[in-house]
Amino acid sequence: MTTAKVFIDGEAGTTGLGIRERLTAFPGVELRSLSADRRKDPEARRAIMAEVDLAVLCLPDAAAKESAALAASLGAQAPKLVDASTAFRVDPDWVYGFPEMTPGQADLIRNAGRVSNPGCYPTGTIALLRPLVDAGIIPADYPISINATSGYSGGGKAMIEAHEATGGPAYEIYGLGLEHKHIPEIQLYSGLSRRPIFAPAVGHYRQGMLVSVPLHLDTLTGKPTGADLQKVLEDRYRGSALVQVLPPAPGGRLEPEDVNNTDLLELRVYANAATRQAILVARLDNLGKGASGAAVQSIALMLGLPHPGNTHG
């Protein structure tokens, strides 16, 4: 069995640690690392990239661009790249790393040299919207609003330290300048021509995410029922190991932590036939399918390795 060599540039961060831990489940992967005192040395990073088959960039945007340039400078020796930052998510020269997004996306990732890992909020949003836009039920220019709440681990080192040291706020809406960095990614890959309104929030719990999109059914093409929306989603994701379209949870409630430590993405349609209203809801672990788990899914495709399953930890 051929062993694939992988280097994680930025392995000490939350996403990098999650990827490293998951990759230990692959018998065909050999992880390469730099000592702590060499991790910011461009020449050391360039040299190790020349020795591996694939490099994962778990870095801030500017550093990710620098690292991608180092890899490109190797020419024929350049490794395949998976970038976990937001630097290349709408770059046409990079393949978007959401295998279930469209029927041919997994093949694009499998044959790609450079893959951009999706954001956590966009993963839930695009999974809900793209099939309905493709089916013509949601017009591309529909005024979409997205409400989403994540655990604090999705906010980076400073937010994690604030919550774990002081307790942090119980709940906080942010991005109220309506310029959140995930909006271009959401708009492009959902197939929307109108910029959506995106209202993210963070709760005082470590991980787990809910993304919800409210809809007035009579304003959609063909005035569909909730069952019609459900069927479109079921048809798109039938046979998927990680994306599950489920019936509404009983009791009219849904909490964000139930799929933590898995790489699952759950989708549900809640609809009221009398009021002709619906809410689309996605639930995922922001550290799983929303970050490290998604990256490992793309890595497996790019290296021709079987995915080890949907659980972690």
Quick count: other Cβ atoms within 10 Å of Cβ 250? 6
Catalytic residue among 4, 29, 120, 215: 120
Kindly write down the DSSP assignment for every residue of 137-193, as one continuous string.
Answer: SS-TT---EEEEEEEGGGGHHHHHHHHHHH---SEEE--TTS--TTHHHHHHHHT-S
- The amino acid at residue 36 is A
Residue type, 7: F
**Which secondary structure element, helix H or strand E, spans residue 98, and what is its range?**
none
Per the structure block, which two tokens stand in for 284? 């995922």
Strands 54-57, 95-96: parallel, antiparallel or unpaired by DSSP?
unpaired
285-291-292-297 Cα dihedral, nearest 10 degrees = 100
The SS3 of residue 278 is strand
**Is-contact 310 266, C-beta < 8 A?**
no
Rounded CA separation 283/262 (Å): 11
Q: Which two tokens stand for residue 172?
A: 């906080």
**Joined tokens for residue 23:** 């990759």
Q: Alpha-carbon distance 18 to 54, whole Å?
A: 17
58 is catalytic: no
Active site residues: 120
